[in-house]
Structure 1
Amino acid sequence: MSKNSIESSVYKIMQDIIVSTAYEIVDVEYVKEGPFKYLKVYIDKPEGITVDDCSEISHILSKKLDELDFISEQYFLEVSSPGLERPFKTESDYMENINEKVEVKLYKPLDGKKVITGILLEKQENNIMIDSENQIITIELKDISKINRTIEDF
């Protein structure tokens, strides 16, 4: 089974697990780190994620994965919070961060920059608008390798 089909299958399983809860699936990754494979599931909920939340979902998901047994190789399951500076994956990630400071990493430079930091002003179907140093910049979504909210030090 390919990496993408494992990730999409686990995502669907997670949707069934959390259907009547306050949890949200942020991302699913199946990655190799050193000699080991990891199935990483990132969850969130409005009031934030606790260690107990991660443990509960991990237990339920692990049991379901053992039942279905579609991952043939050995792996470690990790269920965690995506963190405060998580990458935007969904439309709601963008919408919830309008007027917040974000960092945008690009596949190729735009005006000589591959990283742009500024205030997310707007999200449209195919692009975003950022106020970076009092300059409004429009960035195509297809050109973004990663975007996330940045937390400023006080």
Structure 2
Amino acid sequence: MSKGSIPQAVESLVEPVILAQGLELVDVEYRREGRNWILRIYIDKPGGVGVEDCKKVSRMVEDMIEVDDIVRTHYILEVSSPGLDRPLKKEKDFRRYLGKKVQITTYAPIGDRRNFKGTLKNFEDGDVHVDAQGQTFAIPLNNIASARLEIEFKL
């Protein structure tokens, strides 16, 4: 299995089990960090996840991944919360966080820019609408290389 398809294969395999636990699968990453390959699974639930949630999911999915022989190299499995700056990947993510501050990077430029920092206004017809510096940009979901919530501190 190619390195690029490992996250998709893991996601397909473990998402039903994670959903059955009342949790959401946010993202799956497989990347080299230093000398090690890391398989990182991000989970969430309303109110946030704790260490016990992460341990439970880790135990549940570890054997599934081994039995299905998805990853054939030595790797380290990490199960984690997505954090305050959680990634936005799917349509439901963008709809859930309407009105929130986001940072988006695109594969191809829109106008003369690839980086957008502003307020998530809408998701319509496959486009993410962001108000950045008083101008609204319609960014096709398939042109988004990365999107994250912006951490907002309230005084």
Matched, 1:119 2:119: yes
Instruction: Give me the whole-angstrom Cα distance separating, in 2, the residues matched to 1:137 and 1:36.
Output: 39
Instruction: Give me the whole-angstrom Cα distance separating, in 1, the residues matched to 2:48 and 2:63.
Output: 24
Instruction: Give me the whole-angstrom Cα distance separating, in 1, the residues matched to 2:111 and 2:5.
Output: 37
Mean Cα deviation higher: 90-99 or 133-142: 133-142
Q: Which amino acid aligns with 1:116?
A: F
Instruction: Give me the whole-angstrom Cα distance separating, in 2, the residues matched to 1:126 and 1:16.
Output: 25
Give the alignment's TM-score, normalised by structure 1: 0.87
After TM superposition, give the deviation of residue 51 of structure 1 in Å.
0.9
Structure 1 residues not aligned, in runs of 5+? none
Is the Cα contact below 8 Å between 1:42 and 1:79 reproduced in 2? Answer: yes
Matched, 1:56 2:28: no
Is the Cα contact below 8 Å between 1:104 and 1:116 reproduced in 2? Answer: yes
Is the Cα contact below 8 Å between 2:106 and 2:145 reproduced in 1? Answer: yes
Give the alignment's TM-score, normalised by structure 2: 0.87
- Structure 1 residues 31, 103: closer, same or farther in 2, change over 3 A? same
Instruction: Name the counterpart of 1:29.
Output: 29
Secondary structure of residue in 2 paired with 1:152: coil
Is the Cα contact below 8 Å between 1:122 and 1:130 reproduced in 2? Answer: yes
Q: Which amino acid aligns with 2:43?
A: I
Is the Cα contact below 8 Å between 1:22 and 1:46 reproduced in 2? Answer: no
Q: Which amino acid aligns with 1:27?
A: D
After TM superposition, give the deviation of residue 58 of structure 1 in Å.
0.5
1:87-125 CA deviation, whole Å, 9 max, x = no partner?
211111000111111112123444443322111111112
Structure 2 residues not aligned, in runs of 5+? none
Instruction: Name the counterpart of 1:131.
Output: 131
Mean Cα deviation higher: 109-118 or 86-95: 109-118
Instruction: Give me the whole-angstrom Cα distance separating, in 2, the residues matched to 1:106 and 1:44.
Output: 25
Instruction: Name the counterpart of 1:73.
Output: 73
Is the Cα contact below 8 Å between 2:117 and 2:132 reproduced in 1? Answer: yes
Q: Which amino acid aligns with 1:101?
A: K
- Structure 1 residues 126, 77: closer, same or farther in 2, change over 3 A? same
Instruction: Give me the whole-angstrom Cα distance separating, in 2, the residues matched to 1:30 and 1:70.
Output: 11
Instruction: Name the counterpart of 1:9.
Output: 9
RMSD of equivalent CA atoms:
1.9
Q: Which amino acid aligns with 1:133?
A: Q
- Structure 1 residues 126, 67: closer, same or farther in 2, change over 3 A? closer
- Fraction of identical pairs, as percent: 35
